[in-house]
Amino acid sequence: MFRDARRTGARVRNLIPFIVLATFVGIASAADVEKITFQNDLSACVAIKETKTATASNVVLANTTIQLRKPIGECGCLSALATYTSSVNRAGVRQILQEGLVGLKSGGEKSLVLATEPALVTNKAVQVRLACAGPS
């Protein structure tokens, strides 16, 4: 019994590099987003720049670089959390795809979820609004 468990464990360990590679291959693909624009309500405190778009398990991500100019409390926020909202225009109507929170205690690379299905953003212009998070 123990011998079989050791063999199974060894087989699983041998598969780890392939699992890791498959994960990165899935992340490397990207949805065909036409363009991403940022409506940055916190621009006096925060600069945001998209570096690339990626898709992992059908979730479309905007990988961004955040640069803090000053604490977002100086821009009227009550905490170091900001909200972001992704949306697209469909037949003249703005439709919200995702909304989430992002911590802005420090700058650096941040991934924002744009959509949970690539078809929602394929060949579409996506707008991402960054604003103060509401009080909790």
39-89 pLDDT per residue, tens: 999 999 999 998 899 999 999 999 999 999 999 999 999 999 999 999 999
**DSSP assignment letter at 70:** S
Max CA pair span of the chain: 65
Residue 100 has a CB neighbour count (10 Å cut-off) of: 13
Q: Map 88-106 to HEC letters.
A: EEECCEEEEEEEEEEECCC
Give, in words, the CATH class of 31-132.
mainly beta
Q: Give the closest residue to 98 by CA, choosing from 88, 89, 110, 109.
A: 88
Using one digit for the tens of pLDDT, what is the confidence trace for 48-61?
998 899 999 999 99
pLDDT surpasses 50 at 12: no
Tell me if residue 37 falls in helix, strand or coil: strand
Prediction pTM value: 0.75
pLDDT surpasses 50 at 19: no
pLDDT surpasses 90 at 7: no
Give residue 93's pLDDT. Answer: 94
Residues with Cβ within 8 Å of 128's Cβ and at least 6 positions away in sequence, in order, are 36, 37, 38, 39, 62, 84, 85, 86, 87, 112, 114
Domain spans, the chain: 1-29, 31-132
Tell me the CB-side half-sphere exposure of residue 48, using CA atoms within 13 A: 25
Give residue 3's pLDDT. Answer: 54
